[in-house]
């Protein structure tokens, strides 16, 4: 049995050597960043901020390829089938990477099996915001109001992660508030500003309306206060310990991509994200570019995959 073991060891050594050689010459041709959304959205904008800076560092063109459809799952499935050579990467958000398994009965990809995380680009905390006419200036007052009038309050949401946050709030706070779904964040914000719904769960696209006073931010869903809204408490500070919903955006490579290439991409993209120009442009989009170290990002994805699909099914939230 010694010969097969020696042969196996030799094969593994040769494989590692080939991976190392590939990393030394990588990249030798253009790199493609696949985005599952049309041009102009948040994920697309992040990719287009990163692409030229990454190109400068790697010495090869880095382009963005939009493959929209089915809440970005078409683009993710396309990237999952790409060659595992580091030349086709996915810029994916938590919606399609960890929420989608709970929204669809079948997907053409498995996040845990088909992808390797490369880097976390951003975190995108949500806001619980209210129309100024709502007689609740804090989460505590909102809970008291909802308990006094069960089923009488409504909240708007424009995407599954927003609705999931709203339903999780209801569960933890022990209140009954009715969800009003909208087809996207923009119409939900418009409705809240107009007073059509008194409460809104949304991303930081609503920030201009909060700053203008058209909406009142009650809390953010991140574990710590967000730099762009330092005066707004977290849900935990507002009275719901352990409440955390922090959507994110990251870069992924197809499973099987050599570790040396993953490490090189992680180092270069981390350097790009640290550029002050990039940070400023991220902040303009309402996101934080303070990504987790790769090992912690891996752990976050694993945790989210164990949490959100189960909760989405429990709350009966399905793809729209």
Q: Is 64 helix (H, G, I), strand (E, B) or coil?
A: strand
| CATH architecture classification, 127-220 | 3-Layer(aba) Sandwich (3.40)
Q: How far apart are CA 206 and CA 19, in angstroms?
A: 45
Classify domain 2-124+247-314 at the CATH superfamily level: Bordetella uptake gene, domain 1 (3.40.190.150)
pLDDT number for residue 173? 97
Task: Specify the pLDDT at position 5.
Answer: 57
Burial of 183 (0-12, 13-18, 19+ CB in 10 A): exposed
- In the chain, which residues fall in CATH 3.40.190.150? 2-124+247-314
C-alpha closest to that of 134 among 179, 193, 180, 184: 193
The per-residue pLDDT for 17 is: 54
The CA distance from 223 to 125, in Å, is 9
Alpha-carbon 139 to chain mean position: 24
pLDDT at 122: 93
What the block records as the tokens of 320 is 């729209």
Reported residue count of the chain is: 320
The pLDDT of residue 211 is 93
Q: How many angstroms separate the CA atoms of 196 and 221, rounded?
A: 23
Q: Distance between CA atoms of 46 and 159, rounded to whole angstroms?
A: 19
What distance in Å separates the CA atoms of residue 253 and residue 68, rounded to the nearest whole number?
A: 18
Distance, CA of 14 to CA of 36 (rounded, Å): 36
Compute CA distances 176 → 142, 155, 198, 281, whole Å. 11, 11, 14, 39
pLDDT of residue 250: 98
- Closest to 169 measured CA to CA, from 100, 239, 117: 239
Q: How far is CA 117 from the centre of its chain?
A: 13
Q: Which helix (H) or strand (E) holds 118?
A: strand 115-123
pLDDT in tens, the chain (320 residues): 555 555 555 555 555 555 566 668 999 999 999 999 999 988 999 999 999 999 999 999 999 999 999 999 999 999 999 999 999 999 999 999 999 999 999 999 999 999 999 999 999 899 999 999 999 999 999 999 999 999 999 999 998 999 999 999 999 999 999 999 998 888 999 999 999 999 999 998 898 999 999 999 999 999 999 888 999 999 999 999 999 999 999 999 999 999 999 999 999 999 999 999 999 999 888 888 878 999 999 999 999 999 999 999 999 998 87
The pLDDT, as a whole number, for residue 9 is 57
Distances (CA, A) of 225 to 107, 125, 193, 235: 35, 9, 24, 9
141-165 burial, b if ≥16 CB within 10 A, otherwise e? Answer: ebbebbeeeeeebebbbbbbbbbbb
Determine the pLDDT at residue 56: 98
Compute the distance between CA of residue 225 and CA of residue 215 in angstroms, rounded to an integer.
18
Q: How much is the pLDDT for 16?
A: 56
Numbered ranges of CATH 3.40.190.10 in the chain: 127-220
């Amino acid at each position: 049995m010694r010969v097969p073991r020696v042969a196996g060891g030799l094969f593994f050594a040769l494989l590692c050597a080939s991976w190392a050689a590939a990393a030394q010459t990588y990249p030798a041709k253009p790199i493609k960043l696949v985005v599952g959304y049309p041009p102009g959205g948040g994920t697309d904008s992040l990719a287009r901020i990163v692409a030229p800076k990454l190109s400068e560092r790697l010495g090869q063109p880095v382009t963005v390829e939009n493959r929209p459809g089915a809440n970005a799952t078409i683009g993710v499935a396309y990237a999952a089938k790409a060659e595992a050579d580091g030349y086709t990467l996915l810029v994916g958000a938590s919606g399609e990477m960890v929420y989608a398994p709970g929204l669809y009965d079948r997907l053409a990809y498995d996040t845990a099996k088909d992808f390797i995380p490369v880097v976390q680009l951003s975190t995108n905390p949500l806001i619980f915001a209210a129309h100024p006419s709502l007689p609740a200036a804090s989460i505590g007052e909102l809970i008291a109001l909802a308990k006094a009038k069960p089923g009488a309050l409504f909240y708007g949401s424009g995407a599954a992660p927003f609705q999931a946050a709203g339903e999780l709030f209801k569960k933890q706070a022990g209140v009954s508030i009715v969800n009003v779904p909208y087809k996207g964040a923009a119409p939900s914000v418009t409705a809240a500003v107009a007073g059509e719904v008194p409460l809104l769960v949304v991303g930081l696209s609503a920030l201009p309306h909060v700053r203008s006073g058209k909406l009142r931010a009650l809390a953010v869903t991140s574990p710590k206060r967000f730099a762009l809204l330092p005066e707004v408490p977290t849900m935990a500070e507002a009275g719901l310990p352990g409440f955390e919903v922090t959507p994110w955006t990251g870069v992924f490579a197809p499973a099987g991509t050599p570790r040396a290439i993953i490490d090189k991409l992680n180092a270069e993209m981390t350097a790009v994200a640290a550029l002050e120009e990039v940070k400023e442009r991220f902040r303009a989009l309402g996101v934080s570019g303070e990504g987790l170290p790769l090992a912690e990002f891996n752990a976050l994805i694993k945790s989210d995959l164990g949490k959100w699909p189960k909760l989405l099914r429990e709350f009966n939230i399905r793809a729209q």
